[in-house]
């Protein structure tokens, strides 16, 4: 399965609310989250990919039923976007919570797998973390 | 590719051997080495690819895609979806696990003897002999200080103060550099997966290991197993072609708790057996994060270095340190916006511990005739969740005793973070799977061993009831779950049964 351009744009928008520019010292800023999630989507078995597809659809149109606004997710303020994601993550419905968690996982997989993030965190063999250096000095 | 290892997609498959082994993980690796050392010609057929350490990366998604069955998306379904993590690669799950070694607890073996009639087949002295050999050959030793993490030291301290027995985890590794990447496959070849140890030893004794060889049916003449058929996967001139291989002495299925019963079922063997594919058991586990004021740097050192095992006999719970990739840890943190960003910045100060449960629940596995895959049904019991929340409470208590400033329960309905005076919140944690982020590891039971051919799939020597020359040698033969990491038990039982087969 492949993302459409619209889905890729929406995935990028949602993921940037989860992992905004400036996160982790700005190390995720250069990542095209939508494109990376699209790449991962194309490699994922269809039954799992379909959850991502439904998740993006639900989040995109959730302002209609959660905020009672005639807007899509991309057309509301950042604070409202965060509020919507928070409400979905705490939904009483298990599958809605899972969908929300999968979108967060997609954003983190796409944005936090790069070498710059690993170097910033001091993960694996990419050097000692900023925080560690600061705490030891 | 090392000598004796072949890509079926490039070269096709050898067609005859004394013994054909389906699967190259703990069970298949031990059987291959034992039988090849005994002078038999051995053919190991593995569905997944052969991946040299130089090809391994550090990105979680790509590692899952390259190494795991269904790209790591396999799950068991009940009220909740529970990921069931299994590798699909030469070396099986030994390639991606944390190399934790435990002998089968004596109480568990005694139960197998008493309740499943396995005293004749699973002899303690033979198992001890096999354990000793494996521990020597696989360089088993406790995690050393040089690769222990801050999280390991905190667990030791917390368990000591809580009065719970604990120890450095014993692992099969040689010259571990503490890269923290066990779960992506060891890129230093330090972890002694079967790929670099037992299979390599087997090939030195003449065994042939074929990757990208998916076995789909067991061939029989009358009731006797005589070979296998399947399809070549991967990319290469032979990919997509069917193959057929013949075994003069035996066919050994060591394809895992999910694949082994389904291979039997697809081969129309044991269809009237009430145990086939049933009694699926696991050690479901969830994680608990402690926030500390000093850095834990949870991505360096041993992937899993320390364990508190003193609650095994009371709660059926084992608590272990676990380093997970940053992107995975981040995806489980609560909140959005500023709250989440602040959490992300504290990632290096987090110690992550897993709480693994010896679950009493039983599920089943079946082939999916429509989709060509496998269907796993599994639902933990309310008793399991009662013990799970008690285990989480004890683990949180240990975090605080070790100096954590806060704990992230990671349970739906509980606060995102708690302090030491809020431990009682775990008493109201949910009693079903929809409230937890659970992963099932250590699977058991779907081809259980026993003397009664109506209620067990294999006999005490692991031969399939009513099918001469066909054996199962993996954790699917375990009649109960074990409460400890199973790789060592699988290898020992496979070694023991293979020795008997070789001398028969």
DSSP string computed for A53-98: HHHHHHHHHHIIIII--S--GGGS-HHHHHHHHHHHHT-SSHHHHH
pLDDT in tens, B150-201: 999 999 999 999 999 999 999 999 999 988 889 889 989 999 999 999 999 9
pLDDT of residue B4: 92
Distance (Å) from the alpha carbon of A75 to chain B's nearest alpha carbon: 17
Contact B79 A82 (CB under 8 A): no
Q: Are residues B446 and B432 in the same domain?
A: no
Q: From CA B99, how far away is CA B304, in angstroms rounded? A: 9
Q: Are residues B25 and B78 in the same domain?
A: yes
Domain assignment present for B370: no
pLDDT of residue A128: 56
Domain assignment present for B366: no
Q: From CA B469, how far away is CA B219, in angstroms rounded? A: 11
Give residue A48's pLDDT band: very low, low, confident or very high (50, 70, 90).
confident
3-class secondary structure, B429: coil
pLDDT of residue A110: 95
Q: Are residues B196 and B295 in the same domain?
A: no
Residue B239: is it exposed, middle or buried by C-beta count within 10 angstroms (0-12/13-18/19+)? middle
List the domain range (segments joined by +) for residue A131. Answer: 5-136
pLDDT of residue B481: 93
Give residue A137's pLDDT band: very low, low, confident or very high (50, 70, 90).
very low
Which residue among A23, A44, A94 sits closest to B344, beta carbon to beta carbon? A23
Q: For tokens 């670099």, what's the residue?
A: B196
| Percent of chain A whose pLDDT exceeds 90 | 76
Average pLDDT in the A47-62 region? 93
Q: Are residues B300 and B224 in the same domain?
A: no
Q: What does DSSP assign to residue B22?
A: E
Q: Are residues B317 and B275 in the same domain?
A: no
Q: Are residues B46 and B147 in the same domain?
A: no
Q: Are residues B348 and B314 in the same domain?
A: yes
Domain assignment present for B249: yes
Which CATH number do you get for residue B195?
3.50.50.60
Q: Are residues B203 and B346 in the same domain?
A: no
To test the contact with chain B by mutation, choose from A120, A125, A137 the residue with the greatest count of B C-beta atoms within 10 A, namely A125
Contact B73 A112 (CB under 8 A): no
Distance (Å) from the alpha carbon of A70 to chain B's nearest alpha carbon: 23
Contact A85 B336 (CB under 8 A): yes
Exposure string of B353-381, with b = 16+ CB inside 10 Å and e = fewer, is bbbbbbbebbbbbbbeeeeebbbbebbbe
Give residue A127's pLDDT band: very low, low, confident or very high (50, 70, 90).
low
Q: Chain B residues with CB inside 8 Å of A42's CB?
A: none
pLDDT of residue B371: 67
Smallest CA-to-CA distance from B60 within A11, A124, A50, A64 is with A124
Give residue A133's pLDDT band: very low, low, confident or very high (50, 70, 90).
very low
Residue A116: is it exposed, middle or buried by C-beta count within 10 angstroms (0-12/13-18/19+)? middle
pLDDT of residue B394: 97
Could you say which of B437, B454, B474 is where a domain stops? B437
Residues of chain B with pLDDT under 70: 371-372
Contact B58 A124 (CB under 8 A): yes
Q: How far is CA B480 from the centre of its chain?
A: 15
pLDDT of residue A43: 92
Q: Are residues B128 and B81 in the same domain?
A: yes
Q: How far is CA B390 from the centre of its chain?
A: 24
Residues of chain A contacting B, Cβ within 8 Å: 17-18, 20, 22-24, 40, 43-45, 47-48, 78-79, 82, 85-86, 89-90, 94, 97-98, 101, 104-105, 107-113, 117-118, 121-125, 128-129, 131-132, 135
Tell whether the model's pLDDT for residue A130 goes beyond 50.
no
Smallest CA-to-CA distance from A7 within A44, A55, A47 is with A55
Domain assignment present for B159: yes
Q: How many domains does chain B have?
A: 2
- Closest chain B residue by Cα to residue A133: B295
Q: How many domains does chain A have?
A: 1
Structure token digits, residue B475: 């954790």
Q: Are residues B104 and B50 in the same domain?
A: yes
Q: Are residues B23 and B105 in the same domain?
A: yes
Looking at this predicted complex, what is its ipTM?
A: 0.91
List the domain range (segments joined by +) for residue B318. Answer: 142-173+281-361+381-437
To test the contact with chain A by mutation, choose from B337, B374, B413, B415 the residue with the greatest count of A C-beta atoms within 10 A, namely B337
pLDDT in tens, B367-399: 987 766 899 999 999 999 999 999 999 999 999
Contact B330 A89 (CB under 8 A): no
Q: How far is CA A62 from the centre of its chain?
A: 16
Domain assignment present for B503: no
User: What is the 3 state secondary structure string of B168-216?
Assistant: ECEEEECCCCCECCHHHCCCCCCECCCCCCHHHHHHHCCCEEEECEEEE
Domain assignment present for B389: yes
Which residue among B59, B330, B348 sits closest to A122, beta carbon to beta carbon? B348
pLDDT of residue A131: 47
Neighbouring C-alpha atoms within 13 Å toward the C-beta of B4: 22
Contact A124 B299 (CB under 8 A): yes
Beta-strand (E) ranges in B205-362?
208-211, 213-221, 224-232, 242-253, 281-291, 306-308, 317-321, 350-357
Contact A123 B180 (CB under 8 A): yes
Could you say which of B437, B452, B484 is where a domain stops? B437
DSSP B68-121: BGGGGT-EEESSSEEEB--B-STTGGGGTS--B--PPPHHHHHHHHHHH--TTT
pLDDT of residue B14: 78
Cα B443–Cα B444–Cα B447 angle in degrees, nearest 5: 135
Q: From CA B162, how far away is CA A104, in angstroms rounded? A: 35
Which CATH number do you get for residue B311?
3.30.410
B468 at the A interface (CB within 8 A)? no
Q: Are residues B156 and B252 in the same domain?
A: no
Residue B54: is it exposed, middle or buried by C-beta count within 10 angstroms (0-12/13-18/19+)? exposed
pLDDT in tens, B419-459: 999 999 999 999 999 999 999 989 999 999 999 999 999 99
Domain assignment present for B493: yes
């Amino acid at each position: 399965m492949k993302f459409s351009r619209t889905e890729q744009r929406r995935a990028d928008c949602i993921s940037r609310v989860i992992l905004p520019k400036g996160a982790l010292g700005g190390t995720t800023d250069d990542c095209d989250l939508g494109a990376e999630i699209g790449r991962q989507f194309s490699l994922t078995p269809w039954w799992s990919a379909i959850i991502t597809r439904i998740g993006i659809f639900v989040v995109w149109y959730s302002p209609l039923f959660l905020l009672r606004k005639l807007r899509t997710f991309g057309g509301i303020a950042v604070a409202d976007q965060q509020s919507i994601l928070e409400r979905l993550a705490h939904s009483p419905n298990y599958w809605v919570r899972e969908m929300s968690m999968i979108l967060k996982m997609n954003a983190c997989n796409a944005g936090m797998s790069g070498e710059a993030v690993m170097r910033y965190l001091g993960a694996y063999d990419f050097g000692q973390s900023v925080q560690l250096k600061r705490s030891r000095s | 590719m090392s000598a004796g290892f072949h890509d079926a997609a490039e070269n096709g498959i050898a067609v005859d051997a004394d013994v054909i082994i389906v699967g190259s993980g703990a069970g298949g690796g031990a059987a291959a080495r034992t039988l090849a050392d005994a002078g038999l010609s051995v053919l190991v057929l593995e569905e997944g690819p052969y991946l040299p350490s130089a090809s391994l990366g550090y990105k979680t998604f790509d590692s899952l895609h390259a190494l795991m069955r269904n790209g790591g998306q396999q799950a068991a379904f009940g009220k909740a979806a529970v990921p069931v993590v299994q590798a699909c690669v030469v070396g099986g799950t030994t390639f991606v696990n944390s190399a934790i070694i435990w002998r089968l607890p004596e109480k568990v073996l005694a139960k197998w003897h008493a309740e499943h009639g396995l005293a004749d087949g699973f002899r303690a002295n033979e198992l001890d002999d096999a354990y000793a050999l494996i521990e020597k050959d696989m360089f088993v030793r406790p995690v050393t200080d040089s690769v222990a993490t801050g999280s390991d030291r905190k667990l030791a301290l917390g368990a000591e103060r809580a009065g719970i027995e604990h120890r450095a985890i014993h692992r099969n590794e040689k010259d571990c550099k503490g890269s923290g990447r066990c779960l992506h496959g060891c890129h230093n070849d330090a972890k002694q997966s079967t790929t670099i140890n037992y299979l390599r030893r087997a090939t030195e004794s003449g065994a042939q290991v074929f990757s990208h060889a998916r076995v789909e049916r067991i061939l029989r003449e009358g009731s006797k197993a005589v070979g296998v058929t399947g399809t070549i996967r991967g990319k290469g001139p032979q990919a997509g072609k069917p193959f057929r291989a013949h075994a003069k002495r035996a066919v050994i299925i060591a394809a895992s708790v999910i694949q082994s019963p389904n291979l039997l079922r697809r081969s129309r063997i044991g269809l009237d057996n009430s145990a086939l594919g049933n009694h699926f058991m696991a050690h479901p586990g969830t994680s608990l994060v402690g926030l500390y004021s000093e850095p834990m740097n949870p991505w360096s050192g041993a992937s899993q270095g320390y364990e508190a095992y003193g609650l095994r006999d009371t709660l059926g719970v084992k608590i272990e340190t676990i380093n997970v990739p940053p992107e995975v840890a981040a995806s489980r943190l609560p909140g959005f916006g500023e709250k989440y960003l602040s959490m992300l910045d504290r990632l290096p100060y987090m110690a992550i511990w897993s709480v693994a449960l010896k679950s009493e629940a039983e599920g089943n596995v079946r082939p999916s005739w429509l989709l060509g895959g496998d269907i796993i049904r599994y639902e933990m019991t309310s008793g399991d969740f009662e013990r799970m929340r008690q285990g989480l409470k004890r683990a949180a208590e240990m975090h605080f005793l070790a100096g954590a400033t806060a704990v992230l329960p990671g349970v739906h309905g509980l606060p995102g973070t708690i302090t030491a005076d809020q431990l009682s919140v775990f008493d109201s944690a949910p009693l079903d799977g929809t409230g937890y982020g659970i992963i099932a590891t250590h699977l058991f039971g779907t081809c259980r061993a026993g003397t009664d051919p109506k209620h067990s799939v294999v006999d005490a020597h692991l031969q399939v009831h009513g099918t001469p020359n066909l054996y199962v040698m993996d954790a699917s033969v375990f009649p109960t779950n074990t409460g400890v990491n199973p790789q060592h038990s699988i290898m020992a039982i496979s070694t023991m049964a293979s020795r008997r087969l070789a001398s028969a």
